[in-house]
Structure 1
Amino acid sequence: MYYTYIVFSEKLDKFYVGATEDLHRRMEEHNTGRSPYTKTGSPWQLVWSREFKIRSEALAEERRIKGKKSRKYIEWLIDSAGKAI
């Protein structure tokens, strides 16, 4: 399975949108500084994810969310899934 996900750093007050095949491993990378873009924001909290059978679908969803360029859209997406930040 593949995942599109959103993590949140309270320290930076920022969201990060990504896609991965192994969500557990990817969260570990974000929170141990092995991901250059997110290393300063640890700890990162998983606030939203969606599962896909095909990698290209997960990547397309990641691009779609990033294409919105909107924090309000990301917050709406999280809220609509029933998860609060």
Structure 2
Amino acid sequence: MFTVYAISSISRNYIYVGLTSNLENRLQRHNSGYERTTRPYSPFILIYQKEFSTRPQAREHEKFLKTSSGKRFLSNG
């Protein structure tokens, strides 16, 4: 299973969208500062997740969430 997720910075106005096969581990890496991209914005809370059976399906959804329409979808939560 593959999970597309969105996390929101607790301290700043920043949302990160990603894809993983191990969500718990990935969230821990974001919050621990292991990911260079998100390090300045930690800590995070999970605001969205959706599971897919194949990586290509998950990737398509991840790409959608990174568009302006996808960002609106996440903002309207």
TM-score higher than 0.5: yes
Percent identity, please.
29
- In the TM superposition, structure 1's runs of 4+ consecutive aligned residues that sit over 4 Å from their partners are none
Which residues of structure 2 form unaligned runs of 5+?
A: none
Q: Indicate yes or no: 2:11 matched with 1:11.
A: yes
| Residues in 2 aligned to 1:35 and 1:52: alpha-carbon distance in whole angstroms | 23
Cα displacement string for residues 4-47 of structure 1 (whole angstroms, at most 9, x for unaligned residues): 00000021211111111100011011001111110111111001
Quote the RMSD (CA, aligned, Å). 1.5
Distance change (3 Å), C-alpha of 1:59 and 1:42: same
Unaligned runs of 5+ in 1: 79-85
Compute the TM-score of the two structures, normalised by the length of structure 2: 0.89
Matched, 1:30 2:25: no
Q: How many residues align?
A: 77
Deviations 1:52-80 (A, max 9, x none): 0101111110001112266433212x2xx
